[in-house]
Chains A and B, each alone.
Chain A
Amino acid sequence: MNGVHDMGGMQCFGRVAPEADEPVFHSDWEARVLALNRAMGYARLWNIDMSRAAIEELPPEVYLTRSYYEKWLIRLEQLLLDRGLVDAEELAAGRALKPGKPLPRKLGVTDVAAALTRGSFSRAPGTPALFKEGDRVRARNINPTTHTRLPRYARGHVGTIESVRGCHVFPDTVAIGKGENPQWLYTVRFDGRELWGERCDPSLKVSIDAFEPYLEPA
């Protein structure tokens, strides 16, 4: 989806504001939101791309004005509502009004170490890789209305395959419940001037990690 989350190349947001000695969390509620998201993510009711998509689907005015952890809270409430795990009356009341549904699995204290380990997204390839290091490729001009990981700024531009990263779960399908559909993944390097034109710093190179369906030979 061509949303406001796809920010690469926008110039309207002002300076970056690093914070000296930034704490891990700015408030206790941020820590609880993070932990609630991790615990419910562990339940296997949705995958990471579904949760990314839920943030991307927030209205732009919400996306741009709410903080990172505020969005995580709104996203979690939405995922729970969408799947019927809580209902709006319960959120309004601030307490459970009916019993919970069974979860595929529940995060217990002894599972935490394992839950904090990122899983692998590598899968066995079904077909040989179409591209190899050094190949010239063009990022396809696609504009799916659902979740994708091909940023707009790369679309239509020609780059070079720098690394073949193996075959990985394909976000575009797994985000919409259409399966892992593993695809070859490549690091594709672009010249800054190819992306941004003549006035770009000639020393700039930008890479994305692109799934094979995002690419065509150039």
Chain B
Amino acid sequence: MSHDHSHDHDEHHPHGSQLSEMQLRVRALESILTEKGYVDPAALDRIIEAYETRIGPHNGARAVAKAWADADYKRALLEDATAAVGALGFASRVGDHLVAVENTPATHNMIVCTLCSCYPWEVLGLPPTWYKSAPYRSRAVIDPRSVLADFGVKLPEATQIRVWDSTAETRFMVLPMRPSGTEGWSEDKLAQLVTRDCMIGTGLPKSPAEVAP
């Protein structure tokens, strides 16, 4: 329910006034917590900087590209994603309960959290607004093909859809299928094909033509 695109709920919250109300309220809380000695604003800055720069879907993309390029790594990723992603040495060590699920011509995987917005932050960064929204959380488990249509994705009818509801501390990421026409590509170049949405299962990797030569 972002304020930054049109939305049914926005009429209840006029854009500008709501934002400034929130700005004031957040600033007040931060002042109180700082004055009481509960938080250090410099530590808050560091947290924000980490999510704006180091922790994002580029981390997951590296794991996917490596799995596409290296059959042993792919096996390791599917067997124990925590260890396999951990071995890549990202700034934020991945949590202990990461599971990678593989798309095949027979099965397409999608990740959701119907109860809140659980998401593999360490490999994909902070979740996008739509992932946290009621339309996605409600419909992904009952009618995922219509959700995919909202993303412009249409799968063959014969493809089974498997939805993973993140109801515990297990976190899931999708290992998408490697696009054809990418034989011999380096891991760095393969990583450019990997979108955030294709690791959630609401998108497919880019086509080779979309990546600069």
Which A residues are closer than 8 A to B by beta carbons?
5-19, 22, 24-29, 31-36, 38-40, 43, 52, 55-56, 64-70, 73, 76-77, 80, 85-86, 90-91, 94-96, 99-101, 103, 106-109, 111-113, 115-122, 149-151, 153, 165, 168-169, 171, 185, 187, 189, 192, 195-196, 200-201, 203-211
**21 pairs, CB–CB < 8 Å, chain A vs chain B:** A13-B139, A16-B136, A17-B5, A17-B135, A22-B128, A27-B19, A32-B30, A35-B47, A65-B12, A67-B1, A67-B3, A86-B36, A96-B36, A109-B43, A116-B92, A117-B95, A118-B122, A151-B167, A165-B168, A205-B161, A210-B168
With A19-B130, A91-B29, A205-B160 as known contacts, state yes or no: A9 contacts B142, CB within 8 Å.
yes
A112 near B167: Cβ-Cβ < 8 Å: no
With A11-B138, A67-B2 as known contacts, state yes or no: A116 contacts B50, CB within 8 Å.
yes
Q: Does B132 make an interface contact (CB < 8 A)?
A: yes
Q: Does B69 make an interface contact (CB < 8 A)?
A: no
B139 near A11: Cβ-Cβ < 8 Å: yes
Complex alpha-carbon distance, A180 and B190, angstroms: 42
B199 to chain A, nearest CB (A): 14
Q: Does B40 make an interface contact (CB < 8 A)?
A: yes
**Which of B23, B135, B170 touches A14 (beta carbons < 8 Å)?**
B135
**Which of A5, A73, A117, A192 touches B25 (beta carbons < 8 Å)?**
A73
Residues of A within 8 A of B169 (CB): 118, 121, 168-169
Known: A36-B26, A106-B37, A112-B50. 9 other contacts (CB 8 A): A18-B150, A25-B48, A40-B33, A100-B38, A168-B169, A185-B168, A187-B170, A195-B141, A209-B165
Residues of A within 8 A of B9 (CB): 64-65
- For A147, the closest partner residue in chain B by CB is B115
Which of B51-59, B70-78, B174-182, B204-212 lies at the interface with chain A?
A: B51-59
B29 near A36: Cβ-Cβ < 8 Å: yes
In this complex, the interface size class of chain B, counting residues with CB under 8 Å from chain A, is: 35 or more
Which B residues are closer than 8 A to A by beta carbons?
1-5, 7-9, 12-13, 19, 22-33, 35-40, 42-48, 50-52, 55-56, 91-97, 114-117, 121-122, 125-126, 128-130, 132-145, 147, 150-151, 157-170, 197, 202
**Which of B23, B38, B96, B151 touches A29 (beta carbons < 8 Å)?**
B23
A36 near B39: Cβ-Cβ < 8 Å: yes
Residues of A within 8 A of B150 (CB): 15-18
With A7-B114, A203-B161 as known contacts, state yes or no: A32 contacts B26, CB within 8 Å.
yes
With A19-B128, A91-B28 as known contacts, state yes or no: A27 contacts B138, CB within 8 Å.
no
